Structure 1
Amino acid sequence: MSNFQLSVLCLVITLGIYFANKRLYRRFRKLPLMPLVLTPALLVLMLVFGHISWQNYIGESHWLLWLLGPATIAFAVPVYDNLAVIKRHWMSLTAGVVTATLVAVTSSVWLARLFMLPDEIQRSLAVRSVTTPFALAAAEPLGGQPDLVALFVVVTGVFGMAVGDVLFLRLSIREGMAKGAGFGAASHGAGTARSYELGQQEGVVASLVMMLSGVVMVLVSPLVARLMF
């Protein structure tokens, strides 16, 4: 089998696993069965046990990464449909986004330094709390490694989504907008998906906060690079 044929086969398998996983998750709403969790795990097993290199896998699957950008922008549609709600709370949402972004960056870098992690990991961790397209753009002036950035973003999103409901319960947070803002700021895409499961308002706020957090991170990343590295 040629490299091209192998790449095409990997693309077909990737899409097949993903759509099968989505159907499975619709039937059994369990965290380990989420497409963001189970699909990557199955693909990693396929690459490892099939002795398939990353270059062969990504050859014809690279456009799936490109689709992350349009997919993120698509979250703006429900935001536009709910502008009235957003206008009423724009000040608190803006303050929350800026605060959450700064706390995420500083805490990530300081903890990485506390545990004496390598410099490239520190730089890659700094942008872990924004969704992948924004994180990759923000990582450039910081000198982060794209593969590490993508890994940390996914882990952060899944972890935040997994513990979010528990934290809201423990902290007695019942307001839908607060839950949406928390998920959007702390666990970006995964949290936004979870927010839409909770309700329309939660999902809209999470979408807005996720996008604003990404924009803020991209804008402040050159300053972070100068001040912290």
Structure 2
Amino acid sequence: MELLLPIVSIILTVVIFVLCKKLYKRWKSLLLSPILICPIVLIILLMAFHTQYPTYNSGAKWLTKLLGPATVAFAVPMYKHFQLLKKHGVEIIVSLAVGSFTAIVSSFLIALWMKLSPNLINSLVPRSITTPIAMDISKTIGGIPTMTAVFVIITGLTGSILGPILIRLISIRSSTAKGLLLGMGAHGAGTSKAFEMGELEGTFASLAMVVAAIISIILAYTFFPILQTELTP
């Protein structure tokens, strides 16, 4: 039985995700987003069958490990539009550096204002980058990787909802700006949303997600310790 549980957890997760994705494609409502619905369904099932999370994760953890290769796969559209990315190189680097800096500082200040514990503060800080990298950063700076994953998902969902609304409100027409906004603000979930708008939007969102992750890694190991020392009571 113990050998079957990891296999069951993987199959169950994949089946639920595929069904949620079909629902989302049919009705195109963000409330039916697989990133939102799939975890809720899994939580309900685990509670209903009194299954502990470590038991479920014994198999599902291999799906988490696939997040790394999945992120690398975003390099394909970036390669196809390399010349266009190169043309806007300066604007991309500057805007993403500002975005990454703002994300780290705002997360830290909000966490301090809410009087969160040091572990939760360190878990919240890397919330604005893609999950596998965010979890690694969280572990290194003293956070809780699983909590970081939750914060990343919340950030991605929020950005996926507010991003398109913001684009309409301020009438953003540039594919570059749309992609960078969604990739920086909502990482993987935002990139998925950007590809729904168009290939160029998705390409720039992919680049934003990758570059923002690199910049955030640098800031997490250089600027963030200074911020902690100066502002932590």
Query: What interval of TM-score do these two structures reach, taking the shorter chain for normalisation?
Result: over 0.9
What SS is found at the alignment partner of 1:3?
coil
Alignment partner of 1:52 is 2:26: no
One-letter code aligned to 1:51: H
* 1:14-57 deviations in Å (ceiling 9; x for gaps): 11111122222221111121111111110111111111111110
The number of equivalent residue pairs is 228
Alignment partner of 1:192 is 2:191: yes
TM-score, structure 1 as length reference: 0.96
Larger deviation, residues 9-18 vs 148-157: 9-18
Q: Percent identity?
A: 33
Which residue of 1 is the match for residue 125 of structure 2? Answer: 126
Instruction: Assess if the C-alpha contact under 8 Å between 2:130 and 2:188 holds in 1.
Output: yes
1:84 and 1:67 mapped to 2: Cα distance? 29
Instruction: Assess if the C-alpha contact under 8 Å between 2:10 and 2:63 holds in 1.
Output: no
Matches within 5 A, 1:35-50: 35-50=34-49
TM-score, structure 2 as length reference: 0.94
Larger deviation, residues 20-29 vs 178-187: 20-29
Matches within 5 A, 1:169-180: 169-180=168-179
Instruction: Assess if the C-alpha contact under 8 Å between 2:192 and 2:202 holds in 1.
Output: yes
Matches within 5 A, 1:199-218: 199-218=198-217
One-letter code aligned to 1:121: L
Larger deviation, residues 159-168 vs 202-211: 159-168
Matches within 5 A, 1:10-89: 10-89=9-88
Q: CA RMSD in A?
A: 1.2
Gaps of 5+ in 2: 229-233
Instruction: Assess if the C-alpha contact under 8 Å between 1:138 and 1:217 holds in 2.
Output: no
Larger deviation, residues 145-154 vs 5-14: 5-14
Which residue of 1 is the match for residue 231 of structure 2? Answer: none
CA offset at residue 172 of structure 1?
2.5
2:223 and 2:2 mapped to 1: Cα distance? 41
Which residue of 1 is the match for residue 112 of structure 2? Answer: 113
Matches within 5 A, 1:93-104: 93-104=92-103
1:5 and 1:141 mapped to 2: Cα distance? 33
CA offset at residue 225 of structure 1?
4.0
CA offset at residue 101 of structure 1?
0.3
